[in-house]
Amino acid sequence: MTGEIAIEIDDNGVGSIWIENPSHRNAMNNALIEALIEAFEKLSADSYCRLIVLRGRGGIFCAGRELRDLRDLHESTLEVIEAAYRRLRQLNEAIYYCPKPTVCVIEKYAFGLGATIVSWCDMALAEADALISYPEVHHGITPAPAVMAMLRGLGRKATMDLLLTGRRVGMAEAVELGLVTKSVPKEALDDALSEIVTSLLRGSPSAIRRTKEFIWQSEDAAHRSGMASAVDSISAGLASPEAREGIGAFLEKRSPAWAR
């Protein structure tokens, strides 16, 4: 195995997950995928953690997947290949269905699996000169793990364009398409991340969790059943202790208890 996944939690409950594989430009391998699943599951279950920031060490987000892993898979049985991609599905679920807000920070580039992970996170902040691409078809691979999230966020034609051409996309276009939330000059990246984190910490943890849960339900629901779920969701939220605290804090012109 090369590289590691590091976890940090600051005094405000901000969890940071770092991809560290400098000899391969932070490309992912099977062991790192396992470690990333464990990291997201650990922080998801940690009541002190309020949100998760995913970054790459050394000024690079993620160059994709180590091709030697894919070569080894190519020489394996179908059962071994399916088991590897089931782990990738577990990574998708650990990130996409994480109950805490997830923010990835793109530096330099996010290619292949790196770009797919970006599509699974709630928000993506990037340096203006970064690039993102899904080049799997150039290597004879189907980029299926990214498809569901891309169709929900981008639409069919943009998804077809990016996945079938594998072209590299600059951040101005990535923001316009909806691949990335915001891009800023490299020197402003940490300040922009701090602004996002501060905004997220102002939110009620239970309200944020319920909002994410309702978004997941809505993605899989018809309009009528989705609106019925909305009634249940907002009713349960309004009856919660955090809602009472939030409304009371507003009326009393003070910060709510969770705002640090």
**The predicted structure's pLDDT at residue 139:** 78
**The predicted structure's pLDDT at residue 199:** 96
Beta strands across the sheet bearing 102-106: 4-9, 14-20, 51-56, 102-106, 123-127, 182-184
CA-based nearest residue to 15, from 44, 53, 45, 42? 53
Q: At what angle do helices 205-219 and 241-251 cross, to 10 degrees?
A: 120
Sequence-separated (6 or more) residues with CB below 8 Å from residue 125: 103, 104, 105, 106, 180, 181, 182, 183, 184, 189, 192, 193, 196
pLDDT digit string, tens, across residues 176-213: 999 999 999 999 999 999 999 999 999 999 999 999 99
Kindly state the average pLDDT of the residues 68-92.
75
**The predicted structure's pLDDT at residue 258:** 67
Distance CA 7, CA 41 (A): 12
| Among 19-33, 101-115, 128-142, the least confident range | 128-142
- In DSSP terms, 170 is beta-bridged to 131
Q: Is the pLDDT score of 164 beyond 90?
A: yes
Are the C-beta atoms of 129 and 109 separated by less than 8 Å? no
Kindly state the average pLDDT of the residues 17-28.
95
**The predicted structure's pLDDT at residue 230:** 47
Strand boundaries in the chain, DSSP class E: 4-9, 14-20, 51-56, 102-106, 109-111, 123-127, 131-133, 169-170, 182-184
Q: Give the containing element (helix H, strand E) for 218.
A: helix 205-219
**The predicted structure's pLDDT at residue 146:** 85
CA-based nearest residue to 19, from 11, 9, 10, 8? 8
pTM of the model: 0.86
Are the C-beta atoms of 81 and 47 separated by less than 8 Å? no
Annotate 172-199 with DSSP letters as a single string: HHHHHHTS-SEEE-GGGHHHHHHHHHHH
| Among 32-41, 98-107, 116-125, 229-238, the least confident range | 229-238
Name the pairing type of β-strands 109-111 and 123-127. Answer: unpaired
Distance CA 2, CA 27 (A): 10
